[in-house]
Amino acid sequence: MTIKETQLEVLDEMSMFDESIEKMEYLIDMGRTLPKIDDKYKTDEYQIKGCQSDLWLNAELIDGKIVFTASAAAMIPRGIIAVLIRVYSNQKPEDILNDDTNAFIKAAGLNDFFQMTRSNGLEMMIRQIKLYALALETKIKN
């Protein structure tokens, strides 16, 4: 599936819920599907800085596509990173870099789950995904 196809699938799933509590339960369920990060990556180097919850993200290039794994201590950040991984894992770095992630975040209402003081964590998750994509795209080209 392409990034856009996966985003549309997530948006379709989320549109079934009218209440914020239902969307929150969806995110918690998504968090249960999170591809677990190996404990060796639970270090400062892989930790998402700026996130109030402990959250680690790793990316590996496999057959020209990025495969993400993560771990998060809190349920909502775990669910949100699971959604992001669902969308961006197994995609080419250039496709991740070219995607308008902010438009997806807005359409999905993922910002709605954070107070202003915590929205920095979501921005840092997206930033780290894009940084991994940039680094791995460079690796492919060299």
- Mean pLDDT, the chain, rounded, equals 90
Instruction: Look up residue 53 and give its DSSP letter.
Output: S
Structure tokens at 133: 């994509």
Domain hosting 43: range is 3-141
134/43 Cα distance (integer angstroms): 21
Q: Are 89 and 68 in contact (CB under 8 A)?
A: yes
Provide the CB-side half-sphere exposure for 126 (13 A, CA). Answer: 17
- CATH number of the domain at 46, please: 3.90.1010.10
The domain tally of the chain equals 1
Q: Tens digit of pLDDT for each residue in 9-19?
A: 999 999 998 88
pTM reported for the whole predicted model: 0.92
Q: Which residues are catalytic?
A: 51
Q: Tens digit of pLDDT for each residue in 77-91?
A: 899 999 999 999 999
Sign of the alpha-carbon dihedral angle for 115, 12, 37, 129: negative
